């Protein structure tokens, strides 16, 4: 009925699922909605400009999907760290949130404390929207990250206004502001404006329910998740783990450490 924006709807679902700005480990999760980070102008009437919302980040290309299915089939069903799943990393975690927002306090300090007191190697830090999309959708088998709400309303997190010294990348580029797609004309406000328009576009409105099924709905676990190439390590399913029944303190602390470092699946809505 167009009585609520897609942004508001996603925030409402995140809240219902137990996600909160107050917990980096259960921070609100938003989808990548675009796949076009190379064009001079962004055409929101072209379906090819958008990410496939019916598939998780690990299945955005046929080759990547095949590799994750192969991994799933190769791992024996065991109770240890190599449990059967498509992904051993998560689409939302404390370090992902802090890395996106590292140019703003208090996230700068959070990122450093999670990294053991310093910034990461420059090449591994969030420095380009395009390269982050390529890593999470195609190139890096340990990267299936989604986005955070700030990508749709907060231009400030894209600029290094505090002049933090993040170092240089291997090609000599000094790490500063986040590199934006050509269609943003180097303007963080324009990027946020167009990105928000993409989120509220007719294409996303018509396909968003598929992504919601993957993150908050029936494709979270079970046979539907296996079919959708959307299963994660058992430790990520916090509500499925009964820590009270685990007597071994070492195993218990390992599981808690795993969850706090790598993320948690939202509660099923």
Q: Which CATH number goes with the domain that contains 226?
A: 1.10.1540.10
Quote the Cα angle for 179-54-50, to 5°: 35
Domain range holding 139?
Answer: 6-260
Angle between helices 6-16 and 188-199 (to 10 degrees): 80
Question: Going by C-beta distance under 8 Å and a sequence separation of 6 or more, which residues neighbour residue 109?
Answer: none
pLDDT value, residue 237? 85
Domain assignment present for 265: no
| Percentage, residues of the chain above pLDDT 90 | 74
d(CA 49, CA 104) in angstroms, rounded, equals 30
pTM for the model: 0.92
pLDDT value, residue 249? 82
d(CA 19, CA 266) in angstroms, rounded, equals 7
Domain assignment present for 1: no
| 80: confidence class by pLDDT, cuts 50, 70, 90 | low
Domain assignment present for 177: yes
Domain assignment present for 268: no
Residue 229 to residues 36, 48, 81, 193, 240, Cα–Cα distance (Å) = 23, 22, 19, 32, 19
- Encode pLDDT of 239-267 as tens digits: 666 667 777 888 778 777 777 677 789 99
Q: Which value, in Å, is the radius of gyration of the alpha carbons in the chain?
A: 19
Domain assignment present for 82: yes
pLDDT value, residue 236? 87
Domain assignment present for 46: yes
What total of structural domains would you count in the chain?
1
Quote the Cα angle for 209-140-37, to 5°: 60
- Encode pLDDT of 25-76 as tens digits: 999 999 999 999 999 999 999 999 999 999 999 999 999 999 999 999 987 6
């Amino acid at each position: 009925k167009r009585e609520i924006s897609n942004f508001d709807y996603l925030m409402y679902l995140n809240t219902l699922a137990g996600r909160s700005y107050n917990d980096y480990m259960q921070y609100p999760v938003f989808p990548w909605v675009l796949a076009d980070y190379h064009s001079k102008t962004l055409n929101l009437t072209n379906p090819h400009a958008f990410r496939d919302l019916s598939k998780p980040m690990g299945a955005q290309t046929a080759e990547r999907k095949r590799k994750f299915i192969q991994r799933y089939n190769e791992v024996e069903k065991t109770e240890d760290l190599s449990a059967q799943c498509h992904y051993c990393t998560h689409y939302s975690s404390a370090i992902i949130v802090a890395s996106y927002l590292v140019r703003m306090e208090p996230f700068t300090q959070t990122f450093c404390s999670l990294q053991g007191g310093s910034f990461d190697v420059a090449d591994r830090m969030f420095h380009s929207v395009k390269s982050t999309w390529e890593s999470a959708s195609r190139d890096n088998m340990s990267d299936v990250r989604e986005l955070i709400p700030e990508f749709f309303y907060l231009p400030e997190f894209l600029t290094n206004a505090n002049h933090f010294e993040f170092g240089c990348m291997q090609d000599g580029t000094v790490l500063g502001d986040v590199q934006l797609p050509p269609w943003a004309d180097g303007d963080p406000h324009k990027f946020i404006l167009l990105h928000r328009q993409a989120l509220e576009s007719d294409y996303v409105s018509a396909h968003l329910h598929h992504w919601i099924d993957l993150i908050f709905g029936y494709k979270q676990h079970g046979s539907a998740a296996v079919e959708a190439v959307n299963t994660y390590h058992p430790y990520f399913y916090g509500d499925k783990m009964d820590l009270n029944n685990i007597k071994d303190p070492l195993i218990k602390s390992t599981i808690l450490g795993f969850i706090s470092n790598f993320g948690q699946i939202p509660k099923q809505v």
